[in-house]
Structure 1
Amino acid sequence: MAAPAIYQTDKVLRFEVPGSRRPSTYFFALVLTLGGLGFLFAGLSPFVETNLLPFSDTRGLTRFPQGVTMIFYGALATLFSLYYWLVLALDVGSGYNEFDKQNKKVTLFRRGFPGKNRIIEIVHPLENILGLKVQIKEGLNPRRAYFLKLKGARDLRLSPVGQPQPLAAVEDQVSAIARFLNIGVEGI
């Protein structure tokens, strides 16, 4: 995963947060689409008494239970693939973290699903910021996340969700935020 884009002036620091448009999401959407349609066509073949898959022989399949089962799993996989394609089209989770000294506020902006929570925007005054907290856990399920510690509120996650970022990218972003806001970092 590439490091998020940085926009910085004397008064504003902004990090772009990548959303769902990652290679792994495209891969799973494509695999589910192809697999789901393959199962669906294979399951429908005994019912229409025609081989709907040109690269496979489905004459050995019976209508019940094989055809029905394959139609069920094919339809299910196709529905899941539609969900993945919708998530990709909407770029769910993308947005930015902006630290604005001029307006004395920090803004976390994310895109969600259509509806009342399509746009998620969290704004806090800069004077409520206590510091940054970093959580790094290596191993089978690594975690590399950093949070904004606030007075009277829970910690806000600044790092993108999904694949862990490289340690160098986490370090660069955390140090850039800490220098810009002149705050401390805990957990490193």
Structure 2
Amino acid sequence: MSCRSEHIWLELITGSRKFSNFCWALIIFLGSLGFLLVGISSYLGRNLIAFVPSQQIVFFPQGLVMSFYGIAGLFISYYLWCTICWNVGSGYNRFDRKEGLMCIFRWGFPGKNRRIFLRFFLKDIQSVRIEVKEGLYARRVLYMGIRSGEAIPLTPTDENLTSREIEQKAAELAYFLRVPIEVF
């Protein structure tokens, strides 16, 4: 989502609170909980899950391995739920022609560097860059080329924009900032 006026361009960036992340966190949690319960059931010798006959599973090595996978899955699920709660990666890109500033803000993981805030002068922006990698895992990312040689990503790497959408976005931003477009 972006808001534009004559002098200001504000683009909101969604972070970890996406439907797909909720689905993956829930699927991993339920699957790992199932693995852990089957492993515990095989150790106790009675069914904790009614529709899974765990008496046929010997605790050593199958039940032990299933318990390990269940515990590992719970840790991964906990990590995903934490990133969703903290909304890691969310923020905004703000371009202000009136003040001549570009501000990029993102939320990170808790700690002393939770807030990621970058500020640049618009006169230091060299170009708007598009990186396109086609193939099985296609990737299209929009970057801001700075005079110091850095390339700052403006779009999340997991955002699946079509070639037409990324080109349109780059063209509009380059026109707003009055800089050229580079394609990699």
TM-score, length basis structure 2? 0.93
Query: Larger deviation: 74-83 or 55-64?
Result: 55-64
1:43-63, CA deviations, whole angstroms, 9 ceiling, x for partnerless residues? 001333331112211111222
CA shift at 1:180, angstroms?
Answer: 1.1
Per mean C-alpha deviation after superposition, the further-off stretch among 141-150 and 75-84 is 141-150
Q: Which residues of 2 match residues 11-26 of structure 1 at below 5 A? A: 11-26=7-22
Unmatched tracts of structure 1, length 5 or more: none
Residues 1:39 and 2:42 are matched in the alignment: no
Aligned residues: 184
Residue 176 of structure 1 aligns to which amino acid in structure 2?
E
Aligned ranges for residues 148-167 of structure 1 at < 5 Å? 148-167=144-163
Q: Which runs of 5+ in 2 are unaligned?
A: none
Query: Could you say which residue in structure 2 is the equivalent of 1:10?
Result: 6
Shift of 1:153: 4.0
* 1:85 match: 81
Match of 1:105 among 101, 119, 124: 101
Separation in 2, partners of 1:106, 1:153: 16
Give, as a single letter, the amino acid of the residue that structure 2 aligns with 1:11. Answer: H
Provide Cα deviations, 1:76-115, integer angstroms capped at 9, x if missing partner.
1111111011111111111111101122110111111000
Which is further off, 45-54 or 74-83?
Answer: 45-54
CA distance in 2, matches of 1:157, 1:57: 51
**TM-score, length-scaled by structure 1:** 0.91
Look up the match of 2:61. Answer: 65
Query: 2:52 maps to what in 1?
Result: 56
Q: Percent identity?
A: 33
Q: Does 1:172 align with 2:178?
A: no
Distance (Å, rounded) in 1 between the aligned partners of 2:135 and 2:65: 39
Q: Does residue 75 of structure 1 match 2:78?
A: no
